[in-house]
Amino acid sequence: MWFNTTIGTDIAEAKRFLEQGETVGIPTETVYGLAANALSPEAVLKIFSVKNRPHFDPLIVHVSSANEIEKYTENIPQKAEELMRAFMPGPLTLLLPKKSVIPDLVTSGLDTVAVRVPKHKLTLELLQQLDFPLAAPSANPFGYISPTSAYHVYDQLHGRIPYILDGGTTEVGLESTIVGFENDHAVVYRLGGLSVDDIERITGKAILQLNESSNPKSPGMLKSHYAPKKNLTIRQFNELNIDEIQAENAGAILFNQYIQNSPSPNQILLSAKGDVKEAARNLFAAMRQLDNSNVSVIYTIPFPDTGLGKAINDRLRRAAVGTE
């Protein structure tokens, strides 16, 4: 079906389409999501179709409050409840045993479901008005750069969805951190907008299980993901030479300083002041900008491997795998 896709702030319009079993673009604090009724296999199937997403890659279920999570999960560990109190709403997704009300299509047949409470006023209001939760992966073609504005969603999915709820530019700019539990230990399955340090302050030492699998336990674990169409290569900063960059007609995504102090339109600083949170917020928009420009290749560098820098490096590694 072909839609005359519109962008707006009308929650009632988004609600109407979702209740009709359609998919809708929604804002969150992390990235924009492609939402559908999580309790309807027919609606969820449209998410996979619109994104061209493989059915073995599970989806995240979005609810309006932490109290709603117990409707769809069971045997919630004490540490999960502590994380809910500390970080929900926010960029945290919990992987928990699912109740049968959640269709197997949402979880790719797994007995666990990924659930979270998004920290965005419009989407929380929308969820509060619905009598079902929303399954919502990122609102982009499968494997491509995640969208951080309504117009990013429109550029990629117009005609395929009826409506995009415009909540402005996303605050975090990286997907949520996914945490599960094994033998009372917290397990981080995907790095994201909540740092491992923050999680460990609540749970104690967490296990990192960042699988790059073709049959993942949680969303966002595939080896190739978040990738631009153009080749993206990671180099050490001191290996980048401005003359070679210009000769190659290349672009560069950098942290807080230009190559050899030579600013150019094709060099993008993610944070001139060296703020990793600001860099995370700007990452996907920078990738998209260079991917839509006339550069032949995109270079980037390893970021400080602390806090959200770990999640930035994770996204860049997966994006580079997808293009090299």
The CATH number given to whatever domain includes residue 240 is 3.40.50.11030
Tokens of 301: 């560098």
| Structural domain boundaries enclosing 251 | 232-321
214 located within any domain: no
pLDDT on residue 262: 86
Place of tokens 């790095």: 191
CB count, 10 Å around CB of 183? 6
Considering the domain architecture, whether residues 199 and 255 belong to the same structural domain is answered as: no
Q: Considering only CA atoms, which of 231, 65, 61, 47 is closest in space to residue 142?
A: 47
Considering the domain architecture, whether residues 104 and 247 belong to the same structural domain is answered as: no
Domain CATH code at residue 21: 3.90.870.10
Considering the domain architecture, whether residues 32 and 140 belong to the same structural domain is answered as: yes
Considering the domain architecture, whether residues 147 and 275 belong to the same structural domain is answered as: no
227 located within any domain: no
255 located within any domain: yes
pTM: 0.90
Considering the domain architecture, whether residues 126 and 247 belong to the same structural domain is answered as: no
**Helix (H) or strand (E) segment spanning residue 128:** helix 121-129
Residue-wise burial string across 240-252, b where 16 or more C-beta atoms lie within 10 A, e elsewhere: beeeebeeeebbb
> Which residues 6+ apart lie within 8 Å of 58 measured at CB?
106, 107, 108, 110, 113, 114, 216, 218, 219
Counting Cα atoms < 13 Å in the Cβ hemisphere of 209 gives 18
225 located within any domain: no
How many domains in the chain? Answer: 2
Considering the domain architecture, whether residues 138 and 273 belong to the same structural domain is answered as: no
224 located within any domain: no
219 located within any domain: no
19 located within any domain: yes
Q: Name the 3-class secondary structure at 162.
A: coil
pLDDT on residue 218: 57
For every one of its 324 residues, what pLDDT tens digit does the chain have, with 9 covering 90 and above?
899 999 999 999 999 999 999 999 999 999 999 999 999 999 999 999 999 888 788 999 999 999 999 999 999 999 999 999 999 999 999 999 999 999 999 999 999 999 999 999 999 999 999 999 999 999 999 889 999 999 999 999 999 999 999 999 999 999 999 999 999 899 999 999 999 999 999 999 999 998 655 445 656 555 556 789 999 999 999 999 999 898 999 999 999 999 988 888 899 999 999 999 999 999 999 999 999 999 999 999 999 999 999 999 999 998 897 554
pLDDT on residue 111: 95
Query: Among 208, 240, 255, which residue terminates a domain?
Result: 208
Considering the domain architecture, whether residues 166 and 125 belong to the same structural domain is answered as: yes
Considering the domain architecture, whether residues 112 and 253 belong to the same structural domain is answered as: no
Considering the domain architecture, whether residues 177 and 29 belong to the same structural domain is answered as: yes
Considering the domain architecture, whether residues 14 and 89 belong to the same structural domain is answered as: yes
pLDDT on residue 212: 58
